Amino acid sequence: MSRIRLLVGLGNPGPEYSQTRHNAGFWLVEQFARSHGHQLQPDSKFFGNTTRIQQGALDLRVLQPMQFMNRSGNAVALLAHFYKILPEEILVAYDELDLPAGVAKFKTGGGTGGHNGIKDIVARLGSQNFHRLRIGIGHPGDKSKVTGWVLGKAPAHEQQLMDDTITEACRSIDLLLQQDMRAAQQHLHSFKAQREK
């Protein structure tokens, strides 16, 4: 059984951002909490919305940092330190420009890929050794268009691809929690393969 004790979803707070691609991590943790009969509630001491899912041997905290993306690490570090959660017991879900919409991939450690939320988490935790779930949002094709792209709303067909992927990613996280990373990765991989048929 995996030792993930904290699931984090990255995004920007506020209704003007709620439907933007940059909030894919928010969508995931909201859906994951719902699938377990929970809802994220504001918790001012951690600067975010949180819930705790306990089922059998599972004891998982879920966090949505409610400061802006480039300050996400503050909430993550505060909660992790408070509950003595190690970086390798954390899974962070976020939007990924380098993957097309409809694809999600797990990754452990490594660089930040230029993602401001991940950069801040690495800086605040003092470690890169946390797990990541990268949710593809596609790339606009030109560096100068990236900001408008991530803070823009996806067209309906793209949004549907992301929604379907997030549903499967939530199932993968369940597999990760019940079994291991390999089972979770295989589930996402077989979902992608089926979709490409």
Among 85, 101, 176, CA closest to 135: 101
**pLDDT above 70 coverage of the chain, percent:** 96
Binding site residue list for tRNA: 17, 68, 70, 116
Question: Tell me, what's the pLDDT at 53?
Answer: 95
pLDDT at residue 196 tops 70: no
Q: Which residues are catalytic?
A: 22
All structural domains of the chain, each given as residue ranges with its CATH number in brackets, are: 6-196 (3.40.50.1470)
pLDDT at residue 193 tops 70: no
Question: Tell me, what's the pLDDT at 28?
Answer: 97
d(CA 184, CA 129): 18
Residue 3 pLDDT grade (very low, low, confident, very high; cuts 50, 70, 90): confident
DSSP percent split of the chain into helix, strand, coil, nearest 5: 45, 20, 30
d(CA 197, CA 185): 19
Among 83, 49, 79, CA closest to 64: 49
DSSP 28-78: HHHHHHHHTT---EEEGGGTEEEEEEEETTEEEEEEEE-S-GGGHHHHHHH
Average pLDDT score over the chain: 92
Binding site residue list: 17, 68, 70, 116
Radius of gyration for the chain, computed over Cα atoms and rounded to the nearest angstrom: 15
Give the mean model confidence (pLDDT) for residues 160-180. 93
d(CA 31, CA 174): 12
Give the mean model confidence (pLDDT) for residues 12-38. 94
Among 83, 81, 62, 93, CA closest to 126: 81
Q: How far is CA 65 from the centre of its chain?
A: 11
